[in-house]
Structure 1
Amino acid sequence: MGITDFFTDVWETFSHPSADADAPVQGGTSTKSPASGTDEESGEEKEANKQDAAKGGESGEQGHKPSGEAEEEPEEEEEEEEPDPKEKLEKECAESKECHAPKHHYDECAQRVTNQIENDGKANEDCVEEFFHLAHCATQCAAPKLFAQLK
């Protein structure tokens, strides 16, 4: 897509108003029926309500009556979720010989930062890079084991 195509698309998007913008306003107020939101009834509504009450209004209840017996929703049984095998595998891999070097670097960095905070009240570095190296190693180690379990 070239720069001219980009500007053409932008121009077409903003130069043509949407179809909804020019649509005439529909609806409005009626002078023959009560205003919405009021409890007033028109003459026709009063007559219809009287007829409904005469037909089956012995109970005096308003609203819809469900047909048949009321259906009860079965209670959902709480299922215990199995722990995520990925987390377990990555933890094992982080402790394994395969990821010994990244773990060693991370542990050394964490110790340095902890000592800096204890001595100076603040740290001059963080261990983000070392953490990502360790996480990458653990993920690479755990992936084949995880997919073997999932098959």
Structure 2
Amino acid sequence: MKEKILIIEDDFTIQTQLKTLLSGNGYEVFAVTDFSRTIEQLKEAAPHLVILDIKLPGNNGFEICSGIRTFSDIPIVFVTSSNTDMDELNSIMLGGDAFITKPYNPAILLAKIAALLKKAYRSPQTEIYMWREATLHLESSMIEYKGQKA
């Protein structure tokens, strides 16, 4: 499955750099084009992760993050030139999952994205242990012995 990432960034140069970096690393990338319809575009794109700037036309990144959190737990990575402790604290308090300042290190950004996607969308592990004629299913707390379930 190719994960989808939505970029909410008004600087076209940075938006293009992010698109190139992410698509070159196997992600399907979309970008918000109409900042008066950011939430609607997010819902339409149905991404697995959002990259969000703070300083945007219309609603700022904090307001957008708060809006997203009213209906979704999608991972949100703030990538911004706003580098004060208060900005980072606000991003955490409003539900952001990572805070990276510009200029960003591409390797670190990619590592954070991969870690957040893995954490958010990991497939459940079915743990089954077998010994002779007994089978223990940890997920369902069930045991089988000689075909009988308990």
Q: TM-score range by the shorter chain?
A: under 0.3
Which structure dedicates a bigger proportion of its chain to strand?
A: 2
Looking at both structures, which has the greater relative contact order when contacts are Cα pairs under 8 Å and sequence separation is at least 6? Answer: 1
TM-score in terms of structure 2 length = 0.22
Which structure dedicates a bigger proportion of its chain to helix?
A: 1
Larger radius of gyration: 1
TM-score in terms of structure 1 length = 0.22
